[in-house]
């Protein structure tokens, strides 16, 4: 018997490029999740029209209409539940959530962040990485907790920082990695192959090459 796909609600605030990568992944017959809805706190978000054009239910809940954060989140929560959402995927959703909302969706809400957490939480991640002279940057998919960019890590991808990189060039390289990492992480999570245990995520199946280190610059060039 084919297992039922988990219903995912995607939250966006802008163009939704990570949203598009998730939608594309869920088109595969063997993918363990389907997109139930796309919701934005900004009615002008370009990602809404992109999702609607692919036949996905969309909704704009303008946070500016609400006097309190709690009132906004109450309507957001109601919308997610009305669509039968089981997993929330934040994809460029530029709103800090209250502890109450996070607790309602505890261990069922994911986020992607453009750094190798716990390094460079918050904004301007690429500028800060360049200023520090790190050789590897990257992105992280994690389970959401009330604290900013914190929570059990599901998956990470590393990219090299090249000499002469700008925020834009490094950001483009990281974004490309995000578009592969998020569908991968959501698949692990929706299928149950990645399980939250306290403040860690455990993998049911250990990758064969998980002990192989990544070197940058490559050892062959040293």
Q: Do domains 1-105 and 112-206 have the same CATH topology?
A: yes
Residue given tokens 């939480």 in the structure block? 121
Predicted pLDDT of residue 209: 65
Superfamily of domain 112-206: Formyl transferase, N-terminal domain (3.40.50.170)
CATH of 1-105, one of 3.40.50.2300, 3.40.710.10, 3.90.1150.10, 3.40.50.170: 3.40.50.170
Q: Confirm whether 142 is a catalytic residue.
A: no
113, 126, 142, 179: the active-site residue: 113
pLDDT by residue, tens only, the chain of 222 residues? 467 999 999 999 999 999 999 999 999 999 999 999 999 999 999 999 999 999 999 999 999 999 999 999 999 999 999 999 999 999 999 999 999 999 999 999 999 999 999 999 999 999 999 999 999 999 999 999 999 999 999 999 999 999 999 999 999 999 999 999 999 999 999 999 999 999 999 999 876 666 778 888 888 755
What is d(CA 117, CA 113) in angstroms, rounded to the nearest whole number? Answer: 8
What region does 120 belong to: left with phi over 0, alpha with psi -120 to 50, or beta?
left
Predicted pLDDT of residue 1: 46
Predicted pLDDT of residue 2: 62
List the domain boundaries for the chain.
Answer: 1-105, 112-206
Specify the pTM.
0.95
Bridge partners (DSSP) of residue 38 are 10, 58
Predicted pLDDT of residue 213: 80
Go through the chain and tell me how many residues it has. Answer: 222
Three-point CA angle 170, 20, 104, nearest 5°: 100
Predicted pLDDT of residue 216: 84
Yes or no: say if 143 and 151 are a contact pair by the CB < 8 Å rule.
yes
């Amino acid at each position: 018997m084919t297992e039922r796909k988990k219903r995912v609600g995607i939250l966006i605030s802008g163009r939704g490029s990570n949203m598009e990568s998730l939608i594309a992944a869920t088109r595969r017959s063997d993918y363990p999740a389907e997109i139930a809805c796309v919701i934005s706190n900004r009615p002008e978000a370009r990602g809404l029209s992109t999702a609607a054009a692919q036949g996905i239910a969309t909704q704009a809940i303008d946070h500016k209409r609400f006097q309190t954060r709690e009132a906004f989140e109450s309507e957001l929560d109601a919308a997610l539940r009305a669509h039968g959402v089981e997993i929330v995927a934040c994809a460029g959703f530029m709103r800090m959530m209250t502890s109450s909302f996070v607790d309602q969706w505890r261990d069922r809400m994911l986020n992607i962040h453009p750094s190798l957490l716990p390094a460079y939480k918050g904004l301007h991640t690429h500028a800060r990485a360049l200023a520090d002279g790190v050789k590897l940057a990257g992105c992280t998919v994690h389970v959401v907790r009330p604290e900013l960019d914190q929570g059990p890590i599901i998956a990470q991808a590393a990219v090299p920082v090249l000499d002469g990189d700008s925020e834009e060039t490094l950001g483009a390289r990281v974004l490309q990695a995000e578009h592969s990492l998020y569908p991968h992480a959501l698949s692990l999570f929706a299928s149950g192959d990645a399980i939250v245990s306290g403040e860690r995520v455990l993998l049911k199946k250990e990758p064969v090459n998980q002990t192989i280190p990544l070197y940058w610059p490559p050892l062959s060039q040293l």
